[in-house]
Structure 1
Amino acid sequence: MTELSSSPAPVPVRAVRTESPWRRFLRTFVKHKLALIGLGVLVLMGLAALLAPQLTPYTFDGQDLDIIGTPQPPSRIHPMGTDELGRDALTRVLYGARISLSVGISSALIATLLGTLIGALAGYYRGWIDTVLMRFTDVVLSIPLLPLVILVSGMIRPSVTLLICIIGALGWMGTARLVRGQFLSLREREYVEASRALGGSHGRIMFRHILPNAIGPVVVSTTLAVGSAIMLESALSFLGLGVQPPTPTWGNLLNSASQWLQGAPWLAVFPGLMILFTVLAVNFLGDGLRDALDPRN
């Protein structure tokens, strides 16, 4: 008799669970402790700016006539002291955050939109369009940004809205070169060729297929541009070419405090620390986003 050979039992195949890009992004981002701290600092500053009327009983231009003439040091009633006009320094710092943060975020968004559009057109079409747009970008990049913004601001004396437009319109070049490089790399991929073969329009290919795959570096560039815009606005206001008093910004608060550095240094310390912490928080957040959006992770 021949023995019947029993076939081995089939090995169960385990389904491989693929992690979604959103979960992978969150998992990587949460590991970046400095990025979480930066995000928390920015959220707190944003809430403090929005809730300034509820957090302080004073108005930004309200004066205490009994202490006018000499800045008062920090106290229980005025935690950051007062300036020479009897105005509460904490209130002015909180209201100044509204202007400085709105200028930084809004101008960074404008610069990102302009840079993305120019970089996408140059990288996708190439040829003479790429040559013209990139040579124009190189010319603007060759001009130092701060003197150029000072010149424009000195000629126009901008309001908050106009200052946002000026900074945004003069800060798009880095994003344009970054997006151009991404489009040059992605335009030859198989999915782009497939969309082109199916009759997809140029606009659809650029903004529906290529741009979503290049969004990571654009997001990181936007966050870093916020910090640069805040620094630029503060520099302009410090020089008297930005938002004019009595509307407070961190920059013109530093300008007003410059004549009291010996007798009342707290007037310069608090807005200076706000600028420092905000820019550091934005940079930490940008580092975390860069690591989380890196495809190698």
Structure 2
Amino acid sequence: MADISAPAISARPPQSYGRRVVKRFLRHRGAVFGLVFLLLLALTVILGPFFSPYTYDGQDFMLIGSPGPMTAQHWLGTDELGRDMMTRLMHGGRVSLAVGLAGAIIATIAGTLVGALSGFYRGWTDTILMRATDVMLSIPTLPLVLLLSGLFRPSPPLLVAIVGMLIWMGTARLVRSQFLALREREFVEAARALGAGGARLMFRHILPNAIGPITVSATLAVGSAIMLESALSFLGFGIQPPVPTWGNLLNSASSWLSVAPWLAIPPGLLILFTVLAVNFLGDGLRDAMEPRE
């Protein structure tokens, strides 16, 4: 009797969560475009000023009085003080991106802490923290920032702190909902039964499982912080000249729109495309990190 052996079944090993996230992210064309744009922009604003023959506050006294046209020496022209606009645009990108990134980091840390305490301990802790969050949400952000910027000198560190402490509320609500759902899961109950304390449960067991939504929220907060900083600088309450930012470059160019529109178009487009790229990146991360399959 012939020995008939069952054919070998070759099963593909399951992919790790990280590999699945990367594959989903790469399928999101908008997110890939946003990531590439942001990387190229970061390289340009970081390295570009080192290769420029001008400094951001260096003046050509032969061109003082009115904006200069775009030439081979000054690709984006010069402002009314004879300063090279390309160099000022790149240096302003450093400031705007740094304020946006640092403000988003502060907002994410503050929102995560408030949301984690509220969702884990519930009760009076949840009530107090969420009512405080509701109060912050009810205050118009831009007028409050204008008031604070008017009371204090708007240096970059202070502006970062103001921006960060006024956009954390969305992250707090998101983290709270995640903690409310995760604190009842079996692995948390098992860790609690083994004697894990509150801080260990929160930051060792629950927080790593909520890192996906927090990452998405942090990404979107960068766009909000850049928009807020640009609005403040445009209104004259942000970082003051001669230090350039995209917002105060727009403010300076607004007086010359009829005769030199090329001064306003580049910073306006950079703000627009940067915020769009950040939002596309956040959408791609959200879709990629969804718990499916």
Whether TM exceeds 0.5 here: the answer is yes
Q: Which residue of 2 aligns with 1:291?
A: 287
Question: What is the CA–CA distance in structure 1 between the aligned matches of 2:192 and 2:123, rounded to whole Å?
Answer: 18
Q: Verify the 8 A CA contact 1:120 1:179 in the aligned structure 2.
A: yes
Correspondence 1:218 to 2:214: yes
Question: What is the CA–CA distance in structure 2 between the aligned matches of 1:194 and 1:11, rounded to whole Å?
Answer: 42
Q: Which protein has the larger Cα radius of gyration, Structure 1 or Structure 2?
A: 1
Q: Which residue of 2 aligns with 1:205?
A: 201
Q: Which residue of 2 aligns with 1:258?
A: 254
Question: What is the CA–CA distance in structure 2 between the aligned matches of 1:227 and 1:258, rounded to whole Å?
Answer: 23
Q: Which residue of 2 aligns with 1:23?
A: 19
Q: Cα RMSD between the aligned structures?
A: 1.3
Q: Which residue of 1 aligns with 2:172?
A: 176
Identity of aligned residues (%): 63
Most deviating of 106-115 and 157-166: 157-166
Which sections of structure 1, spanning at least 5 residues, go unmatched?
none
- Residue 273 of structure 2 aligns to which amino acid in structure 1? F
Question: What is the CA–CA distance in structure 1 between the aligned matches of 2:90 and 2:101, rounded to whole Å?
Answer: 17
- CA drift at 1:14: 3.5
Taking structure 1 as the reference length, the TM-score comes to 0.96
Question: What is the CA–CA distance in structure 2 between the aligned matches of 1:7 and 1:53, rounded to whole Å?
Answer: 76
- CA drift at 1:157: 2.0
Taking structure 2 as the reference length, the TM-score comes to 0.97
- Residue 219 of structure 2 aligns to which amino acid in structure 1? T
How many residues end up aligned between the 2 structures?
293
Which sections of structure 2, spanning at least 5 residues, go unmatched?
none
Correspondence 1:118 to 2:114: yes
SS at 1:51's partner residue?
helix
- Residue 224 of structure 1 aligns to which amino acid in structure 2? L
Q: Verify the 8 A CA contact 1:120 1:180 in the aligned structure 2.
A: yes
Q: Verify the 8 A CA contact 2:49 2:90 in the aligned structure 1.
A: no
- Residue 48 of structure 1 aligns to which amino acid in structure 2? T
Correspondence 1:247 to 2:235: no
Deviations 1:118-146 (A, max 9, x none): 00000000011000000010011011111
Q: Which stretches of structure 1, 4 residues or longer, exceed 4 Å deviation after superposition? A: none
Q: How does 1:270-285 map to 2 (within 5 A)?
A: 270-285=266-281
- CA drift at 1:7: 7.6
Q: Which residue of 2 aligns with 1:104?
A: 100
Question: What is the CA–CA distance in structure 1 between the aligned matches of 2:212 and 2:21, rounded to whole Å?
Answer: 11
Q: Which residue of 1 aligns with 2:45?
A: 49
Q: Verify the 8 A CA contact 1:48 1:55 in the aligned structure 2.
A: no
Deviations 1:162-184 (A, max 9, x none): 10011101111000000000000
Question: What is the CA–CA distance in structure 1 between the aligned matches of 2:230 and 2:77, rounded to whole Å?
Answer: 21
Most deviating of 8-17 and 259-268: 8-17
